[in-house]
Amino acid sequence: MLWKSSRRKLIRGMSSTSQKTTALSLLRMKRRGERITMVTCYDYPSAMHVDGAGIDVALCGDSLGMVALGMATTQPVRLEEMVHHCKAVRRGLSSQGPMLVCDLPFGSYEESPEQALKSAFTCVKEAGADAVKLEGGRIMACAIEKIVNVGGIAVMGHVGLTPQKISTLGGFRAQGRTAVKARAVLDDALALQDAGAFAVVAECVPDIVGRALAENLEIPVIGIGAGSYVDGQVLVYHDLLGSLHHPHHKRFVPKFCKVFADIGEASRLGLQAFKDEVQAGSFPSADFSPYKMPTQEAAKFRAMLHLDEDIRLSRRRETHKRIIDADEYENIGLYGGGNSNTFSPSSASTTTNGGGDIQSK
């Protein structure tokens, strides 16, 4: 299978990612103002394209039920199916490439923190995930604490639209469109941060809410339909490429395989364009930030943010100190690591404006 080895080396040689992406490196990206890119993919070929384009994070999401398995929602997806697909994604990523995050599917973590920890262990030990992601707000804080503190596994949170909960949400609908609901989204994200989450996905919320999340959280906020003010963007591989079929690579295919379309190269270029626009801050533009809040509700939301600004600032400083303390192990190379790209605590923002400069569109 020499052709596979050659193809792998060639495609991964295109990657702009020189070091393995970690929870710590994502935090540093936020502090340096660098935009984070994350792509949801479900198989080996798509993972290789994601790796080759230099994307920061590969998410094996439970949306595979709808995108790859033809299910109506994400709810029927089983943990065993997540493991199966995450293994394939793992094989497609280089050792110095994207961080691999695996979704915990519906019904695999909600019963108890113990169930959540067991499922997280499965994703890491059997599927090769670097971290897990789970949906839900403050009610999931105990589960995150268990996974992080007992299991030692990194957890990404998910607020706003949580597709696994569509039964109570009334379908796939934007969230946080009133001041009270927007504040609830922020409080949920803060609770996940306090529980130990290293990042939070914000889905389908107005850009004013996305901005409030990014400005009030110390950890990265990665948006999908959350406006341009968040710290990074995530899209599903098939969606951003405008394709609902599996790509095939052009280079080093077997001699008996006729290449009918240059989908592989087009896929890589599309992913690279996504990364470039996110890093340049041109995506998402106003055209792709559709969720707005009425002017009166926006004013109420800003007032809510102003009321407890000092408390949030104190909590953010505590989180900043906790992360800096933990980072000392990395900086001094206690475990043989060490990184020349260290950051100064003074470079981290410790001030907020209470949301006063958030503009309602």
Active site members: 203
Burial class of residue 58 in the structure, from the number of CB atoms within 10 Å of its CB (0-12 exposed, 13-18 middle, 19+ buried): buried
Roughly what angle, to the nearest 10 degrees, separates helices 44-52 and 2-12? Answer: 40
- 52 membership: H or E segment, kind and range: helix 44-52
Residue that the structure tokens 């080396």 belong to: 9
- 11 membership: H or E segment, kind and range: helix 2-12
Alpha helices in 58-170, H assignment, sequence order: 64-67, 79-92, 113-125, 141-145, 166-169
Q: Taking the alpha carbons of 250, 251, 253, 257 in that order, is the dihedral positive or negative?
A: positive
Cα 100 to Cα 155, 313, 322, distances in angstroms: 11, 31, 24
Closest CA relative to residue 156, chosen from 211, 212, 217, 96: 217
For residue 1, count other CB atoms closer than 10 A to its CB. 7
- Cα–Cα distance for residue pair 207/361, rounded to 1 Å: 9
